[in-house]
């Protein structure tokens, strides 16, 4: 099962390697990983999506928390959080199919952000399933390349990650 | 203060945190640091191999409780430290390693002797620092020592580029350490302590499962106090030997793969394990799904990631072992009226019955081959269990742990979790430097000895008079034992031979004293002779029975119920007290 882990870290070199190393040492693949700055200048936030069983997840989470530069680790349960991903996708788009692709983009509330002679680049934001659905639909026209931001997520309601208990206590 | 170099700042910072000794070897990138060393109060011990320096720092820390320090140059110098750091990491030993790095502008360009040591050492250290500005040196040193020595101790590496060591700047001493992501929980949760006390009061067959955390916390006295006030027997893991004297009525000795029958079986038959600072390591639990099937688990550890890692705890307690024991003692005292007074005498009788019936056994005959166990027993007897004993990894290590009756903590120093062969000689060197007034013995194997014996040169020059007993069985003994038992006696690449090298000549070549013993009659004389030497190391080549096996044994992947007592017990089969447990059928992992 896929799990979304949010990690607050000090903004220092090497932190990303340390965190990802704890997954790699067990042979676990990281499905997606997004890192960016936060409201505090010295703190970055990682959103890690991994597909692994509950028990090793619990242990690896505890190990991540142990890292000196890690400030907080929580798991974001899908039903209690909002998750989004951004995709830029370059689709083969000769004149005859452009209208159809634009129509699909509108249905998905995406944006055409670049148009070439026989290609279009579209920006789609949404839950991972929505992104996947769009990708599947335009696949017939030919996908030239695409990039995904990786999932980012926040818990629902007024609380912040800092108010939450660790995913695993003691 | 006037301008100093980064290197000078490094030594000012090391002096400020109280460093007295460094084990190291110079080289290109660390060269600037070796200049202010000349004028520093810090004493440097010039090792012959960086692995030796790292193990020496570990032995120094294990013997004294202080932070051990090692230093090496960039590239190969730094990577040679890795085995030692990994061992310190697995055994939670406070060590700080300082490495030189190529100058900042060269970093990342595959410069001569460049290695990404913070990347390399990351997974086997508690933390690593790469110091990119001379201004950061003092603060980094303060933080590194704080991290290494607090919480769950461990090794920390500081990598400093050569041009940072050379830069001139105005030195400012370190300020207070402020690490927002590092706040170890030392004070246990009171509610959990009360829960633990309740479980103890309800239990009938409790065992105190004492781990290395007790040594780190300096909580031996509290452990003994808890054992005595409750009458609960204690098993001491490989990393906790000596936390309660082996001669104590309540001490059952070492459990695990080569632990004694009583300690292993007491854990198995227990209805409550009170784990204070152990890891529930695979060497102790055997087949995990069969481990202590009736037992509830109290697991106290300063590292939350250890709790319920292998065996689910019924009462998890995060905290420093000393604080946990102190609180537990208080709560048990205060509940004396409320709880029914548990009486474990029947349980103790059972356990003591095992103790009497199934001690470690071997037979040394007058004219037969020299038994390694006999050598260990004689060393222990003649030193009265009062020395510091170090070991490498293998059969000799297990015999050391089995046959030395330890009297106090920090007197058994080995590479437990990592199992780093070659640990013994340099660790003993480190222990002797830390505790010069103690007699230090290294119980070694011929395989281990050959991995790090170059440190004999260091010790001969520095006059570090340790005693090394090579239990020379001409084989990689533990590997040979496994090939005999599990590979149909198909011996593959395990024979070293008795004669090459000639250990006596080798010792002499290094400026040490070499002795050889081939029969039991000469054992005591050689030990006494070694004990009389105080200006250089002594190496004794004890030529032991090549085929001797280490028993008891719980084979890898087997249940502790299936402990094999060995040939000494074949004549009188064991009335094995098996429980009638329905074990889960799920496949456990097997860790060879």
| Angstrom distances, CA of residue B497 to CA of B123, B370, B472, B493, B518 | 37, 16, 9, 11, 14
Dig out the tokens for A64 from the structure.
């991540």
Q: Are A124 and A65 in a shared domain?
A: no
What does the pLDDT read at residue B571?
A: 64
Q: Which CATH code for domain B372-543? A: 3.40.50.970
SS3 assignment, position B74? coil
Disruptive mutation site among A8, A69, A170 for chain B (greatest number of B CBs within 10 Å): A170
The answer, yes or no, to whether residue A39 has pLDDT greater than 50, is yes
Give catalytic status of residue B113 as yes or no: yes
Residue B127 has its nearest CB partner, among A17, A62, A68, at A68
DSSP B320: -
Which parts of B94-246 fold into alpha helices (H)?
A: 117-121, 137-149, 162-166, 190-202, 213-217, 220-230
Q: Which of B162, B216, B296, B322 is catalytic?
A: B162
Q: Are A67 and A132 in a shared domain?
A: no
Distance CA B277, CA B267 (A): 16
Q: Are A47 and A95 in a shared domain?
A: no
Q: Are A95 and A73 in a shared domain?
A: no
Distance CA B88, CA B61 (A): 9
Q: Are A66 and A110 in a shared domain?
A: no
The total number of structural domains in chain A stands at 2
Per-chain mean pLDDT for chain B:
96
Q: Are A126 and A143 in a shared domain?
A: yes
The answer, yes or no, to whether residue B132 has pLDDT greater than 50, is yes
Instruction: Please report which confidence band the pLDDT of residue A170 belongs to, taking 50, 70 and 90 as the band edges.
Output: very low
CATH architecture of B190-357: 3-Layer(aba) Sandwich (3.40)
The answer, yes or no, to whether residue B453 has pLDDT greater than 90, is yes
State which residues form the domain around A94.
82-148
User: CATH number, domain at A106?
Assistant: 3.30.70.1150
Q: Give the pLDDT mean for B311-331.
A: 98
**Beta-strand runs (E) in B222-368:** 234-236, 251-253, 272-276, 296-301, 315-318
pLDDT digits (tens, 9 = 90+) for B503-562: 999 999 999 999 999 999 999 999 999 999 999 999 999 999 999 999 999 999 999 999
* Contact (CB, 8 A) for B496 and B503: no
**Percentage of residues of chain B with pLDDT beyond 70:** 97
CA distance B31 to chain A (A): 26
CATH architecture of B3-170: 3-Layer(aba) Sandwich (3.40)
Q: Which of A50-59, A136-145, B273-282 comes out lowest in average pLDDT?
A: A50-59
CATH 3.40.50.1220 in chain B is located at 190-357
Residue A13 has its nearest CB partner, among B130, B147, B192, at B130
Q: Are A48 and A90 in a shared domain?
A: no
- Chain A residue with CA closest to B304: the answer is A170
What does the pLDDT read at residue B538?
A: 98
Q: Are A73 and A94 in a shared domain?
A: no
Q: Are A66 and A103 in a shared domain?
A: no
User: CATH number, domain at A28?
Assistant: 3.30.70.260
Q: Are A51 and A87 in a shared domain?
A: no
pLDDT digits (tens, 9 = 90+) for A78-116: 899 999 999 999 999 999 999 999 999 999 999 999 999
Q: Which of residues 278-317 of B touch A (CB under 8 A)?
A: 303-305, 307, 309, 316-317
CATH 3.40.50.970 in chain B is located at 3-170, 372-543
Residue A169 lies in a domain: no
Residue A170 lies in a domain: no
Q: Are A67 and A91 in a shared domain?
A: no
Residue A33 lies in a domain: yes
Distance CA B230, CA B458 (A): 48
* Contact (CB, 8 A) for B154 and B113: no
Q: Are A51 and A69 in a shared domain?
A: yes
A70 bridge partner residues: A9
* Contact (CB, 8 A) for B537 and B513: yes
* Contact (CB, 8 A) for B244 and B237: no
Residue A9 lies in a domain: yes
Strands A70-76 and B95-101: unpaired
pLDDT digits (tens, 9 = 90+) for B265-301: 999 999 999 999 999 999 999 999 999 999 999 999 9
Contact B179 A68 (CB under 8 A): yes
């Amino acid at each position: 099962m896929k799990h979304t882990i949010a990690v607050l870290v000090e903004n220092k070199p090497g932190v990303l390697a340390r965190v990802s190393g704890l997954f790699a040492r067990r042979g676990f693949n990281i499905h997606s990983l997004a890192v960016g700055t936060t409201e505090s200048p010295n703190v970055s936030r990682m959103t890690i999506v991994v597909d692994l069983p509950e028990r090793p997840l619990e242990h690896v989470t505890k190990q991540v928390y142990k890292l000196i530069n890690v400030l907080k680790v929580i798991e974001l349960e899908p039903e209690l959080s909002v998750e989004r991903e951004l995709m830029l996708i370059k689709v083969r788009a000769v004149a005859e199919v452009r209208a159809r692709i634009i129509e699909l983009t509108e249905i998905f509330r995406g944006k055409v952000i670049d148009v070439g002679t026989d290609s279009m680049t579209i920006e789609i934001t949404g839950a991972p399933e929505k992104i996947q659905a769009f990708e599947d639909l335009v696949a017939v026209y030919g996908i030239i390349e695409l990039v995904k931001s990786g999932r980012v997520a926040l818990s629902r309601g007024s609380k912040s990650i800092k108010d939450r208990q660790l995913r695993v206590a003691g | 203060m006037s301008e100093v170099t980064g290197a000078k700042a490094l030594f000012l910072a090391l002096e400020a945190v109280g460093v007295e000794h460094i084990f190291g070897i110079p080289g290109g990138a660390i060269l600037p640091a070796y200049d202010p060393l000349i004028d520093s109060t810090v004493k440097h011990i010039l090792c012959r191999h960086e692995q030796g320096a790292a193990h020496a720092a570990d032995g120094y820390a294990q013997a004294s409780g202080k932070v051990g320090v090692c230093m090496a140059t960039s590239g190969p110098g730094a990577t040679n430290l890795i085995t030692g750091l990994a061992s310190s990491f697995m055994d939670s030993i406070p060590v700080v390693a300082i490495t030189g790095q190529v100058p900042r502008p060269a970093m990342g360009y595959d410069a001569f002797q460049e290695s990404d040591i913070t990347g390399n050492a990351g997974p086997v250290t508690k933390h690593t620092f790469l110091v990119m500005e001379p201004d950061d040196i003092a603060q980094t040193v303060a933080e590194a020592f704080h991290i290494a020595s607090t919480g769950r101790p461990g090794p920390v590496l500081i990598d400093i580029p050569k041009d940072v060591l050379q830069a001139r700047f105005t030195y400012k001493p370190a300020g207070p350490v402020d690490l927002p992501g590092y706040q170890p929980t030392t004070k246990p949760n009171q509610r959990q302590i009360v829960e633990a006390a309740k479980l103890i009061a309800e239990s009938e067959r409790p065992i105190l499962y004492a781990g290395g955390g007790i040594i780190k916390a300096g909580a031996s006295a509290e452990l003994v106090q808890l054992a005595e006030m409750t009458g609960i027997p204690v098993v001491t893991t490989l990393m906790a030997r000596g936390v309660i004297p082996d001669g104590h009525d309540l001490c059952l000795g070492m459990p695990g793969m080569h632990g004694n029958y009583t300690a292993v079986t007491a854990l198995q038959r227990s209805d409550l394990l009170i784990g204070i600072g152990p890891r529930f390591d695979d060497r102790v639990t055997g087949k995990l799904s069969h481990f202590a099937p009736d037992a509830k688990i109290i697991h106290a550890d300063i590292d939350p990631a250890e709790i319920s890692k292998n065996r689910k705890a019924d009462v998890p307690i995060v905290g420093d072992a000393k604080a946990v024991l102190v609180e537990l003692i208080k709560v048990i005292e205060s509940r004396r009226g409320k709880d029914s007074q548990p009486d474990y005498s029947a349980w103790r009788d059972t356990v003591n019955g095992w103790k009497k019936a199934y001690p470690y056994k071997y037979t040394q005959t007058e004219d037969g081959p020299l038994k390694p166990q006999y050598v260990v027993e004689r060393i222990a007897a003649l030193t009265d269990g009062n020395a510091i004993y170090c070991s490498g990894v293998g059969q000799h290590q297990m015999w050391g742990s089995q046959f030395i009756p330890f009297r106090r903590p920090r007197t058994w120093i080995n590479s437990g979790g990592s199992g780093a062969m070659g640990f013994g000689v340099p660790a003993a060197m480190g222990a002797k430097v830390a505790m010069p007034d103690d007699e230090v013995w290294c119980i070694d194997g011929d395989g281990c000895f050959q991995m790090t014996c170059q440190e004999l040169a260091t010790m001969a020059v520095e006059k570090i008079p340790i005693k090394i007993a090579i239990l020379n069985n001409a084989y990689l003994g533990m590997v040979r034992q496994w090939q005999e038992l599990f590979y149909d006696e198909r011996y593959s690449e395990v024979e070293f031979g008795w004669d090459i090298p000639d250990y006596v000549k080798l010792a002499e070549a290094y400026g040490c004293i070499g002795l050889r013993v081939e029969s039991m009659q000469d054992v005591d004389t050689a030990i006494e002779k070694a004990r009389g030497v105080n200006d250089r190391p002594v190496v004794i080549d004890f030529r032991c029975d090549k085929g001797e096996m280490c028993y008891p044994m719980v084979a890898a992947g087997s249940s502790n119920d299936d402990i094999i007592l060995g040939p000494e017990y074949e004549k009188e089969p064991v009335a094995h007290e098996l429980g009638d447990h329905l074990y889960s059928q799920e496949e456990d992992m097997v860790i060879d």
